[in-house]
Amino acid sequence: MSKKSFTISLVVLLATIGLVALIAKRGSPVVVQTNLEKIPMNIAGYSATEDAFPDYVYEALNADQHIYRHYKGVDGREIDLYIGYYGTAKGGRTGHNPHGCLPGAGWVILKTHKIRVIPSYYPDGVDLNYILTRKGDAFICLIHWYQSAGKKVLSTGFEQNIERFKGRILHNRNDGAFIEVYTLTTKNEIEEAKLLVRNFSEKLLDLLPDYWPVEE
C-alpha cells in the first residue's frame, strides 16, 4: 500500500470511528406520536375498513406501527393498503420483501418494473415498484416502496440504507416505512387494476408527509 493510500484509509477509519462515537453519545430518539393511524379513511372516493394480521405476522415484521386497511369504492373494487413503520430505535427498515413473501404464499411473479407517479413534492415524478402476480385464475397488481423522513420516497432498500445513514448523522433520525398498495383482479382487468393502484398510490403519497410520526 502506498503512503497516500494508507493516509486516506487512516482518515476514513478515524472519521468512521468519530461518527460511530457521535451516534452512540446522542442515543436514539423514540416515537412519541405515531400519526399514521390518522391517515384518512376515505381516499380518492374509496372508503376504508381496518383489518389486522395474525399476531405471528406482526411478531415477524417487528414494526413500531402497522396500518392494514381495505379501501372499497362504490364500484365494488377494493384496494388494500399496508404500512409498516420502523422508528430510529428499530433501524428504520423492515426485512419484509414481496419478492420473497409472495412466492412463499403460492403466488407466481409474472412481471416487475418501475412505475412513475407524480406526488406534489416530486414535480418531476418518482419511481415506485410494480409487481404482477398470479395464483390460479387470480391476479394481484401490487405497488410498493420505502419512505423516509416523511417526503423521501425510495424504490430500493439500498437507497433507503443510504438515506437512513445520512439522516442518522445529520438529524439523529433514520426512521422509515415500507408501504404496499395492491388489488386483486382478473386476467381481463389487469391494466385497469394497475392504473387503479398507481393512482391510489399517488394520492397516498400526497397525504403521508402530513401524518408522519414524531420522534424525540
Count of CA atoms in the C-beta half-sphere (13 A) of 119: 21
Ranges of residues in the chain whose predicted pLDDT is under 70: 1-32, 89-95, 150, 157, 160-161, 163-173
How much is the pLDDT for 169? 60
Through-space distance between the first and last CA atoms of the chain, rounded to whole angstroms: 45
Q: Report the amino acid identity of residue 192.
A: E
pLDDT, residue 19, reads 44
CA distance 176 to 163: 9
State phi, psi for 179 to the nearest 5 degrees.
-130, 135
For 111-160, the pLDDT digits (tens) are 999 999 999 999 999 999 999 999 999 999 999 998 887 678 877 767 76
Collapsed DSSP state (helix, strand, coil) of residue 56: helix
Predicted confidence at residue 94, as pLDDT, reads 63
Long-range CB pairs of 183-186, under 8 A, 24+ apart, other chains included? 183/77, 183/78, 183/79, 183/80, 183/140, 183/141, 184/78, 184/138, 184/139, 184/140, 185/138, 185/139, 185/140, 185/141, 186/137, 186/138, 186/139
